[in-house]
């Protein structure tokens, strides 16, 4: 009696291997709240930041290669993933119909896009990167703004979810 490989069985084994090992990389950053500090403001054409060093904090949550940051700016949720080659990641999110006062003008933003590129910092509970924020209100150019700054995010001890 000769055993022939079963195609369906091989596909099942491949699927099981991908589920078990494909996205389950562990990363040194801890889940929990991080305090973000602006390092160098590249663009803030509307004065979105309350002061030169302030940024919005966030809660980092990781699941294998998937990353989520519950960001304090407009209570937005940013989602993304780790890159395959190093300990860097990206997350994106948006908010809509939120209020702000760029240049002292009261605006209700139709859309706010938020993007963060992050990478493991000098310690396991620090990451650095770039945050970009773009606001847009249809029909009011005074409410269209861009913010881009480099940052350092430090883990807040005792904040693990």
Instruction: For 103-115, write each residue's pLDDT tens digit.
Output: 888 999 999 999 9
pLDDT at 114: 98
135: pLDDT confidence band, cut at 50, 70 and 90?
A: very high
β-bridge mates for residue 78, sequence order = 69
Name the DSSP class of 135: E
Q: Answer whether 114's CB lies under 8 Å from 73's CB.
A: yes
pTM of the shown model: 0.81
Q: Please name the CATH architecture into which domain 26-155 falls.
A: Beta Barrel (2.40)
Average pLDDT of the residues in 83-106: 92
């Amino acid at each position: 009696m000769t055993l022939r490989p079963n195609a369906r069985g091989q596909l099942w084994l491949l699927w099981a291997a991908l589920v078990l090992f494909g996205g389950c990389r562990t990363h040194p950053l801890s889940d929990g709240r991080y305090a973000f500090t602006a390092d160098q403001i590249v663009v803030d054409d509307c004065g979105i930041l309350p002061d030169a060093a302030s940024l919005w904090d966030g809660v980092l949550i990781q699941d294998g290669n998937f990353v989520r940051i519950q960001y304090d700016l407009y209570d937005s949720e940013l989602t993304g993933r780790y890159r395959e080659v190093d300990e860097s990641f990206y997350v994106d999110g948006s908010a809509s119909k939120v209020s702000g006062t760029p240049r002292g003008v009261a605006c209700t933003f139709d859309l706010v896009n938020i993007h963060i590129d992050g990478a493991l910092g000098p310690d396991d509970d620090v990451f650095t990167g770039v945050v970009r924020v773009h606001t847009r209100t249809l029909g009011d150019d005074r409410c269209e703004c861009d913010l881009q700054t480099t940052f350092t995010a430090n883990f807040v001890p005792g904040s693990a979810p």
